[in-house]
Amino acid sequence: MSEKEALLSVHDLKKHFAVSGGIFSREVDRVYAVDGVSFDIAAGETLGLVGESGCGKSTTGRCILRLIEPSSGEVWFKGTDVRKMDGTALRALRRDMQIIFQDPYASLNPRLTVGAIVGEALTIHNLAKSRREHEDRVVQLLETVGLQPDHLRRFPHEFSGGQRQRIGIARALAVEPKLIVCDEPVSALDVSIQAQVINLLEDLQEKFGLTYLFIAHDLSVVEHISTRIAVMYLGRVVEIAPSRELYDTPLHPYSEALLSAVPIPDPTVKRQRIMLQGDVPNPIRPPSGCHFHTRCPIAKPDCATRVPELRESKPGHWVSCHYRG
């Protein structure tokens, strides 16, 4: 995909966190949280970003919005480099790119009313000409996400988890963004409520032509909502493919194991499970070569020395493995 078609294009994004220690808080180590991530998202599509805890998926999402400053790499949004933006340009960018967080309890200010939370961005970006218009717009947003107009004057603690997540979505929608980074938006919710929020996100995408970067560890949810999926392992993307194709024919041994580990809610389905040995290694000292070689069932000696490139194995299906694809 060329940069022209892509709404968002990420090139070789890296984020290393310093681990300080010793008497003068010198940098003693580095966490390679995101270690060379590249992908594109086309307008109107949903790219799912999956991987286990600590793989760098949330850091990637936050680097794109520059909520965390990336260490290196490029982030192109509608043809401009997000990393070179400052003050005014960055504020304008935030109108186009929004985020929904995982924890609906921690991401809403408990001292503000729902109206103030949702309306804050309207004030910051001067999107309402009068108080009347401001309030009308907030009410409209609440209705869009399935809340009642009278919820306006209530505080977050009066709402359930699912309703709070709706408030978070209304807040993101207030500035009419083009791209929303959804960072584990349903992970904290019960299954029956999870389905409500997923359906809402899908409806909103259709209605407003939104583009999503959907970050989650629950593969069933990601498969359901995504057009394409990128699988991350220890700070790197190991595979990108159209959603269904990834599930039917995963190429990378890690994707394969990850998918086979998902429990299926149907006792009549029996599958061969690929059991991975050991734990995810520490991102402070990630394994050399291919990061996955320590747990990989098909690893050969050179996997420990050569870093595999992400290459296109079939049209639209990218994989980074020396021996697959």
Binding site for another protein (CB under 8 A): 52-53, 160, 162-163, 190-196, 198-199, 202, 217, 219-221, 223-225, 243-244, 247, 257-259, 261-269, 273, 275-276, 279-280
CA distance 228 to 48: 6
The minimum distance between CB 225 and another protein, in angstroms, equals 8
Q: Cβ closer to another protein: 74 or 223?
A: 223
To the nearest whole angstrom, how small is the minimum distance from the Cβ of residue 234 to another protein?
13
Cβ-based burial of 1 (10 A; exposed 0-12, middle 13-18, buried ≥19): exposed
Q: Which is nearer to another protein, 122 or 210 (CB)?
A: 210
For residue 240, give every residue at least 6 positions away whose Cβ sits within 8 Å of its Cβ, in sequence order, or none: 39, 228, 229, 230, 231, 310, 317, 318
Q: Is 17 exposed, middle or buried (0-12, 13-18, 19+ CB in 10 A)?
A: middle
For another protein, give the closer residue by CB, 64 or 222. Answer: 222
Nearest distance from residue 118's CB to another protein, in Å? 20
- CA 52: distance to chain centroid? 13
Nearest to 38 by CA among 7, 63, 4, 73: 73
Instruction: Reduce the DSSP state of residue 38 to 3 states and report it.
Output: strand
Considering the complex, state which of residue 44 and residue 73 has its C-beta at the smaller distance from another protein.
44
Angle (nearest 5°) at CA 320 between 317 and 325: 55
Task: Tell the smallest beta-carbon distance from residue 222 to another protein (Å).
Answer: 9
Q: Is 170 exposed, middle or buried (0-12, 13-18, 19+ CB in 10 A)?
A: buried
Closest CA to 307 of 294, 291, 325: 291
Instruction: State whether residue 224 is helix, strand or coil.
Output: helix
- Min dist CB 48 to another protein, Å, is 12
Both tokens assigned to 27 = 């940098």
For the bound state, the minimum distance from the C-beta of residue 218 to another protein, rounded and expressed in Å, comes to 8
Minimum distance of another protein from residue 230's CB (angstroms): 17
Nearest to 112 by CA among 74, 147, 141, 155: 155
CB of 267 to another protein, least distance (A): 5
Report the distance separating Cα 122 and Cα 98, nearest Å: 13
